[in-house]
């Protein structure tokens, strides 16, 4: 990364608009991409810029539409970041939004440059900001706009080149010739503060939309320039939910490329969704159709099978999560195996080399190292000791309709299939519970427990109970 910038700088994020084209009631900047509002991605870049490039850069967010919701969000999530808020009373256009900022920013003339970003361009990066800054400062321009070429420029302002500079023409005001231009305005700019202030005063709303256009600051004959960026889609503003889906995929892919460069092996980028907040160590492999969210940490050598969904999970080294498993808020120690079709709920803590098999649900329970719950069981509010084997169809009856109670099972036990424990209850170490038992009293260490009706067999009596359908009666008689 290039060196720090000495100039005083403001970063202004325009986010007051209504976002009508999204057709949802949430303010557009707060609509999530994966689980984070798109505004967060823009703020990440601004905060990085302040951290690495311009110490004390002012970051201002222009709010207007649903401003109370926007302010509450920023207050809750960015309280310690000291963000400046600009209030735009009426959404009269992008120039009016900037005008509001200039009026409300204390000591605004002391800043040399003002960057303008949009709350709906989440893939804006530090490199984009650096490149437009280096253009304005090295060529001593008054304003620089970031441009891209797109196959479908509909809806965007077009960059019209003149013998003396350039101007930006909005879609609504463009004639057929201008509409053919594929070089478009991304809405990312840097201005010299004095130039911006002088221009803004003079901008009128004499156009088809009757809005005050910030783009009117770019006129032929002025000392303004453009920086063209490849990979244009990164800088296209999101106006519709379809564009949101496309950007979401691009952000995901950017993240998967980063992880794969660090040694994480993916079968299929296209069907794998991993939030940027997730950490995966090298040597792990992720199968197709996997979603991994939140503060998940996956250590080296793990595999996550097809159709798994992980959220806020910690996997230690060499854990295998087999297909169709849903894991949330849980911890799995090294070399344990989970799934296929396992459901681990918050508070599940699985010991090393333990095994949780198919159709097993575990909630708020510790499964000791080497223990096994292999088939069709529910374990809730329980502590299961090391190397205990739980058979098929085991249930902790942990809920009495009002409260949850704890089941404790010691080390090296054998719990037969189709057993229920009625909590609160405690089974000691080295115990044996016979199949089909309902355990509701404590079992001391080394004890054998059985609770089921004794079997009686009556010869030739079955026919009294076997019901035969009418139409079949004569056939077998």
The residues binding Ca ion (CB under 5 A) are 120, 237, 239
Whole-number Cα distances in Å, 172 to 29, 155, 175, 205, 301 = 24, 8, 8, 13, 55
For residue 96, the partner it binds in Ca ion, ligand UD1, none, with Cβ less than 5 to 8 A by kind, is ligand UD1
Cβ closest to ligand UD1, residue 55 vs residue 90? 90
Other CB atoms within 10 A of residue 314 CB: 19
Q: Considering the rule CB under 6 A, would residue 215 count as an interface residue with ligand UD1?
A: yes
Question: How far is 142 from 159, CA to CA, in rounded Å?
Answer: 17
Cβ closest to Ca ion, residue 120 vs residue 192? 120
> According to CB under 6 A, which residues from 59 to 78 bind ligand UD1?
62, 64
> According to CB under 6 A, which residues from 104 to 163 bind ligand UD1?
118-120, 156-157
Please, how many CA atoms are within 13 Å of residue 192, restricted to the half-sphere of its CB?
17
Let me know if 162 is a catalytic residue. Answer: no
Among the residue ranges 31-39, 184-192, 222-230, 327-335, the one whose residues contact ligand UD1 (CB under 6 A): 184-192
Minimum CB distance to ligand UD1, residue 74 (Å): 15
Question: How far is 161 from 405, CA to CA, in rounded Å?
Answer: 74
Other CB atoms within 10 A of residue 466 CB: 6
Q: Considering the rule CB under 6 A, would residue 41 count as an interface residue with ligand UD1?
A: no
Strand partners, 408: 383, 426
Strand bridging mode 165-169 / 158-162: antiparallel
Minimum CB distance to Ca ion, residue 121 (Å): 8
Cβ closest to ligand UD1, residue 215 vs residue 388? 215
Strand partners, 331: 314, 349
Strand partners, 274: 292
Q: Say how many Å lie between the first and final Cα of the chain, rounded.
A: 91
For residue 88, the partner it binds in ligand UD1, Ca ion, none, with Cβ less than 5 to 8 A by kind, is ligand UD1
For residue 379, the partner it binds in Ca ion, ligand UD1, none, with Cβ less than 5 to 8 A by kind, is none
Minimum CB distance to Ca ion, residue 122 (Å): 12
Minimum CB distance to ligand UD1, residue 107 (Å): 22
CB 145 within 8 Å of CB 224:
yes
Q: Considering the rule CB under 6 A, would residue 232 count as an interface residue with ligand UD1?
A: no
For residue 338, the partner it binds in ligand UD1, Ca ion, none, with Cβ less than 5 to 8 A by kind, is none
DSSP states along 232-253: GGGG----SHHHHHHHHHHHHH
Q: Considering the rule CB under 6 A, would residue 94 count as an interface residue with ligand UD1?
A: yes
Enumerate the H helices of 185-224 as residue ranges: 193-202
Nearest residue to ligand UD1, scored by beta-carbon proximity: 157
Handedness of CA 194, 199, 202, 204 (dihedral sign): negative
Cβ closest to ligand UD1, residue 91 vs residue 320? 91
Cβ closest to ligand UD1, residue 186 vs residue 252? 186
Among the listed residues 47, 85, 92, 281, the single contact to ligand UD1 using CB under 6 A:
92
Residues touching ligand UD1, count (CB under 6 A): 29
> According to CB under 6 A, which residues from 195 to 214 bind ligand UD1?
213-214
CB 307 within 8 Å of CB 323:
yes
- Let me know how long the chain is: 477
Cβ closest to ligand UD1, residue 40 vs residue 96? 96
Cβ closest to ligand UD1, residue 64 vs residue 305? 64
Annotated catalytic residue: which of 309, 375, 405, 458? 375
- CB-based contacts of 120, cutoff 8 Å, min separation 6: 15, 19, 28, 29, 38, 237, 238, 239
Question: How far is 439 from 443, CA to CA, in rounded Å?
Answer: 9
Among the residue ranges 14-22, 323-331, 356-364, 372-380, the one whose residues contact ligand UD1 (CB under 6 A): 14-22
Closest to 105 (Cα-Cα) out of 245, 5, 11? 11
Strand partners, 161: 166
Among the listed residues 9, 11, 12, 16, the single contact to ligand UD1 using CB under 6 A:
16
Catalytic positions, written as ranges: 375
Applying CB under 6 A, the residues found at the interface with ligand UD1 are 14-17, 62, 64, 88, 91-94, 96-97, 118-120, 156-157, 168, 170, 184-187, 213-215, 237, 239
């Amino acid at each position: 990364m290039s060196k720090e910038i000495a100039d005083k700088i403001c970063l202004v994020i325009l986010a007051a608009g209504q976002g009508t084209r999204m057709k949802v009631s949430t303010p557009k900047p707060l609509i999530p991409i994966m689980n984070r509002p798109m505004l967060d991605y823009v703020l990440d870049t601004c905060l990085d810029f302040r951290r690495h490039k311009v110490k004390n850069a002012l970051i201002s967010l222009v709010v207007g539409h649903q401003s109370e919701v926007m302010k509450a969000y920023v207050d809750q999530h960015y309280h310690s970041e000291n963000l400046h808020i600009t209030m735009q009373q009426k959404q009269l256009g992008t120039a009016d939004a900037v005008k509001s900022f200039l009026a409300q920013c204390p000591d605004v003339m002391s800043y040399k440059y003002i960057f303008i970003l949009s709350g709906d361009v989440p893939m804006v990066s530090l490199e984009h900001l650096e490149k437009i800054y280096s253009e304005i400062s090295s060529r001593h321009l008054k304003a620089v706009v970031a441009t891209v070429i797109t196959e479908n420029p509909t809806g965007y302002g077009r960059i019209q080149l003149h013998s003396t500079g350039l101007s930006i023409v909005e879609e609504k005001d463009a004639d057929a010739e201008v509409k053919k231009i594929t070089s478009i305005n991304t809405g990312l700019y840097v201005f010299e503060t004095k130039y911006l202030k002088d221009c803004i005063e003079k901008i009128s709303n004499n156009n088809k939309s009757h809005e005050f256009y910030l783009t009117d600051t770019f006129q032929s004959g002025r000392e303004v320039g453009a920086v063209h960026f490849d990979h244009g889609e990164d800088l296209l503003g999101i106006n519709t939910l379809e564009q949101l889906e496309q950007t979401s995929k691009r952000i995901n892919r950017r993240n998967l490329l980063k992880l794969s460069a660090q040694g994480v092996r993916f079968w299929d980028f296209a069907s794998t969704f991993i939030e940027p907040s997730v950490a995966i160590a090298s040597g792990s492999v992720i199968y197709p159709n996997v979603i991994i969210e939140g503060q998940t940490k996956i250590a080296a050598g793990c595999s996550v099978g097809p159709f798994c969904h992980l959220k806020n999970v910690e996997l230690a080294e060499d854990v295998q999560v087999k297909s169709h498993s849903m894991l949330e808020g849980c911890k799995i120690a090294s070399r344990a195996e989970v799934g296929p079709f396992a459901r681990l709920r918050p508070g599940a803590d699985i010991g090393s080399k333990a095994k949780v098999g198919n159709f097993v649900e575990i909630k708020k329970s510790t499964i000791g190292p080497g223990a096994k719950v292999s088939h069709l069981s529910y374990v809730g509010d329980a502590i299961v000791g090391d190397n205990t084997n739980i058979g098929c169809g085991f249930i902790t009856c942990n809920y009495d309709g009002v409260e949850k109670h704890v089941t404790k099972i010691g080390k090296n036990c054998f719990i037969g299939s189709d057993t229920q424990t009625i909590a609160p209850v405690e089974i000691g170490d080295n115990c044996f519970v016979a199949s089909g038992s309902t355990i509701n009293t404590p079992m001391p260490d080394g004890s054998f427990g059985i609770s089921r009706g004794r079997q009686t067999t009556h010869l030739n009596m079955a026919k009294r109970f076997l019901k035969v359908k009418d139409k079949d009666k004569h056939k077998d008689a």
